[in-house]
Structure 1
Amino acid sequence: MKVVKYSGDIVDFEPEKLKKSLIKSGATIAVVNDILRQIGKEVYDGISTKHIYKKAFSLLKKEANSHAARYNLRTGLQQLGPEGFFFEKYIAKLFAAEDYQTKLNLILQGKCVTHEIDVFVKKSNVICMIECKFHSKRDASSNVKIPMYVLSRFNDVKENKHQIFSNEDTVSDCWIVTNNRFTSDAIDFAKCSGINLLSWDYPKGNNLKTKSDIECLYPVTCLTTMTIAEKGKLLILDIILAKELINNSESLEKIGLSSKRIKNVMKEVSELCKCFG
């Protein structure tokens, strides 16, 4: 059985891969098997992965909004656009959860030219610059040109001392983060050049999807009980993570939700933020 990916590539249908993603949503094995059975009845040669995702999402939502929200993580990351400014804030919060100090959107004078850097993080006196490459389309990848370009900026910036966390800081490490994927050439170049990469599925076992699951760092854009416009209003209020609503339901009042809808949203948030590894 063949399926058509978002990119247009035709690949084999992998039920086991779908099963793993459904299990990660928090649904029970019984529910997962039932969803697989229902989807199995509708799968045909040439079906799109988008269609399969929508069907699985709909069935999960009938079971529990929080399951659908967890399954909705990648789409939620895409909705941190369109420019990616909120994605940068989300990445800063990921690092902050690992005890890094963070700074966003600073302009530094390099040896040759000035550079606007998306995020800076600091731990144990090591300061890293982070460049975020946000893609609004799911099939877009960051190719080898990205780490080549960022490496040149890093080399220029690390030559000087800067005012970041103190007045005499030096930048000694570099990260590139994307909500999608890196090409194999980009990964090879980054490894060779000493650049750290973080993407939806890289590095294995410590990527965006695993970090989000383990620490319950789901963006509010994952939530299924709110409209896209309402979630956008929360982002403007600087509420990036769903867990930030746990003790802050007043923000839902500020954006105009009724008491009944606030109750539904808070129920989803409470269930979504019960972490598991």
Structure 2
Amino acid sequence: MKHVTKVNGARQPFDRGRVQRTLRNMGVGAEDAERIAHEIEESVPDGVKTATVLRIIRSRAKAVRPAAGHRTNLRRALGLLRSKPDFEEFVRVLLREHGYRVETGCVLAGLCGEHEVDAIAERDGATIFVEVKHHASHHRVTGLDEGRIARAIIEDLQEGFRAGRCTVSIDGALIVCNTKLSGHAKRYATCRGIGHIGWDYPEEQNLRTMIEKTQSYPVTIVTGVSRSVSARLAAAGFVTAKQVAYGDAAAIARDTGIPLKKVLLIAGRARAILEA
């Protein structure tokens, strides 16, 4: 069994599955990712540095999918968004792409108090409020607290509606986060009927699959989009790569203050990613 050496000097077994996941996050197809991961494992020496493995992954990804050179890791791209308002608006855009009617967050009156929610979404006759949780580090885990809070808000809003205080009849809640969920959070959400969308949960409609299905990548997927540039784009309402790729570059430059040359560069790279 081969091992890799981490930055801190620790050794751990070579994880081919992790290499495959990294390749998939860079836009490489499943078959190519499996083949490349196997070839990398066979070719690198025992004890290879993880930084070296990552360089090889990037090189091999670009060879089979040149547009991979214009994109960063999807999980990292999501982490680069600011929690407010960038990721909140990104989630609203993503839900619209999947058939929800979405209203920007507002304050709803419950029986015992008022609650500011990130969005109200409606689909298939059900109306839910959306709570968005964002971590800058995608290695963090979203835990139980968000579910418990959402449960309490549901009860208060439903009681408020029956008492005539809330004008919106809320059927449930949906929590959307950019990280994985703890096992406890999953069990509680399932038991209480609270919708949860995390990086890889639920299996059939998680954040990653929802993004890839509609190509609703955050604009930070594009290499060269710094936090400051991303913030200026988001302030003008541009949070996805599609919005920049197919938008009016001159108008984007005018509205954001980003030089037109830079906007054109980002738009070109975004189109290469989307059309690969």
The answer to whether the 8 Å contact 2:143/2:182 transfers is yes
Instruction: Please show how residues 10-159 of structure 1 align to structure 2 within 5 Å.
Output: 12-23=13-24, 25-27=26-28, 37=39, 45=47, 47=49, 52-53=53-54, 56-57=57-58, 60=61, 66-68=67-69, 72-81=73-82, 83-159=83-159
Instruction: Please show how residues 168-247 of structure 1 align to structure 2 within 5 Å.
Output: 168-245=167-244, 246-247=246-247
Q: For residues 45 and 131 of structure 2, what CA distance do their matches in structure 1 show?
A: 40
Q: For residues 10 and 266 of structure 1, what CA distance do their matches in structure 2 show?
A: 41
Q: For residues 45 and 93 of structure 2, what CA distance do their matches in structure 1 show?
A: 39
For residues 242 and 273 of structure 1, do their structure 2 counterparts lie closer, same or farther at Cα, with a shift above 3 Å needed?
same
3-state secondary structure, aligned to 1:108: strand
Identity value in percent? 19
3-state secondary structure, aligned to 1:240: coil
> Which residue type is aligned with residue 15 of structure 1?
R
Q: For residues 126 and 256 of structure 1, what CA distance do their matches in structure 2 show?
A: 40
Shift of 1:177: 1.2
Aligned to 2:259: 257
Shift of 1:93: 0.9
For residues 185 and 241 of structure 1, do their structure 2 counterparts lie closer, same or farther at Cα, with a shift above 3 Å needed?
same
Q: What's the TM-score once normalised by structure 1's chain length?
A: 0.80
Shift of 1:76: 1.1
Encode CA deviations 1:124-155: one digit per residue, 9 max, x unaligned.
33210111111112221112232122211221
The answer to whether the 8 Å contact 1:234/1:251 transfers is no
For residues 200 and 27 of structure 1, do their structure 2 counterparts lie closer, same or farther at Cα, with a shift above 3 Å needed?
closer
* Gap regions ≥5 residues in structure 1: none
For residues 252 and 60 of structure 1, do their structure 2 counterparts lie closer, same or farther at Cα, with a shift above 3 Å needed?
farther
Encode CA deviations 1:170-201: one digit per residue, 9 max, x unaligned.
00011111111110011011101111110011
For residues 89 and 57 of structure 1, do their structure 2 counterparts lie closer, same or farther at Cα, with a shift above 3 Å needed?
farther
For residues 239 and 158 of structure 1, do their structure 2 counterparts lie closer, same or farther at Cα, with a shift above 3 Å needed?
same
3-state secondary structure, aligned to 1:197: strand
The answer to whether the 8 Å contact 1:73/1:222 transfers is yes
3-state secondary structure, aligned to 1:187: helix
3-state secondary structure, aligned to 2:135: coil
Shift of 1:225: 3.7
Aligned length: 266
Shift of 1:43: 6.7
Range with bigger deviation, 250-259 or 167-176? 250-259
The answer to whether the 8 Å contact 1:142/1:186 transfers is yes
Shift of 1:106: 0.9
When you count helix as a share of all residues, which structure comes out higher?
A: 2
3-state secondary structure, aligned to 2:202: coil
Q: For residues 109 and 54 of structure 1, what CA distance do their matches in structure 2 show?
A: 52
RMSD: 3.4
> Which residue type is aligned with residue 123 of structure 1?
R
Encode CA deviations 1:101-120: one digit per residue, 9 max, x unaligned.
11222111111111111111
